[in-house]
Amino acid sequence: MEKLLEVRHLKKYFPVKKGFIKRTVGSVKATDDVTFDIYKGETFGLVGESGCGKTTVGKLILQLHKADSGEILFEGTDLTKLSKSELQKYRKDIQIIFQDPYGSLNAKMKVGTILAEGIKKHKLLPPDQIQPRVLELLKLVGLHDSDVNKYPHEFSGGQRQRIVVARALSFNPKLIVCDEPVSALDVSVQAQVLNLLEDLQKELGISYLFIAHGMAVVRHISHRVGVMYLGKMVEIAETDELFEHCGHPYTQALLSSVPVANPFHKKNQIMLEGEVPNPINPPTGCRFHPRCRFACDKCKQEEPQLRKIAQGHVVACHYPEKVYGN
């Protein structure tokens, strides 16, 4: 498969300021040396606890935040080195679906105006072809022509998210960053939106970076999955491989917490002890070691690097054999 996006050693620290003169007293290490790829036509799931840095990764790819260091190669071009004017032509190729479908839509604009705005901004179509394209987009996401003159408040949450999807599609993007796009929706509606995204991918060949904290949702839609913990990527594997043979203790704990729709099924849930460490002052060595049941002196002193344990499966752990295959 051909690579669409290559993220290399991505770092982003947010300064922490205190006092009257706003003196910098530290930094929140939101993403710290994150590396992964996304292939054309692929869905790459990115999971982890709240605050692990997964949304920051998405915003860095979109250049909504500027990286402190690292590379973001989109079809071979490093987006981090482009000027604002040079970056403008890539804006239409990388779009985003936000978590809140109501807050991300202008409540004062009709749906037709919302969908036409980006097309006009980037001059993607002649004026006389914009309205037919808007109606085509509505049909593509399962809405009706009559919805073009309605306002966002006239739709349900699931319908609003479909409008957000249609707006992203209006640019004919190659990559869409989905930032927890179904977490604010009912379970039945979640399935509808996920199926819509899958159908659109098959029809249009779009790639997704699918950010979520629900493992079941990620398993449903992703081809490969990356697991983040406290700003670090700790495991990357194909979806079935990850769910059947994970290699990191943190991934194992996440998978053990996924509910099973069987009241008679006994599941050994792994309860992590303690709280997530402070990202301003993360632990030395492996950042997961204060909560890891397998931690030893080496884990406290040496930071593990991503290493291959199976075909297409890499893990940042000193002792993945304690988890892998168990």
| pLDDT number for residue 270 | 81
| pLDDT number for residue 271 | 77
Q: Distance from first CA to last CA of the chain, Å, rounded? A: 30
H-run or E-run covering 74 = strand 69-74
Q: Which long-range contacts (CB under 8 A, 24 or more apart) does 116-124 make?
A: 116/170, 118/92, 118/167, 118/170, 118/171, 119/170, 119/171, 122/91, 122/92, 122/171, 124/92, 124/170, 124/171, 124/172
| pLDDT number for residue 155 | 93
* Domain 3-106+173-322 homologous superfamily, CATH: P-loop containing nucleotide triphosphate hydrolases (3.40.50.300)
pTM for the full predicted model:
0.93
Taking the C-alpha atoms of residue 158 and residue 152, their distance in angstroms, rounded to an integer, is 11
Query: pLDDT tens digit string along 288-304?
Result: 999 998 999 999 999 99
| pLDDT number for residue 266 | 67
Residue count (the chain): 326
Taking the C-alpha atoms of residue 234 and residue 288, their distance in angstroms, rounded to an integer, is 9
Tokens 């054999």 correspond to 321
Residues with pLDDT less than 50, the chain: none
Distance between alpha carbon 187 and the CA centroid of its chain, in Å?
A: 19
Indicate the DSSP class of residue 8.
E
| pLDDT number for residue 261 | 67
Taking the C-alpha atoms of residue 105 and residue 114, their distance in angstroms, rounded to an integer, is 8
| pLDDT number for residue 264 | 67
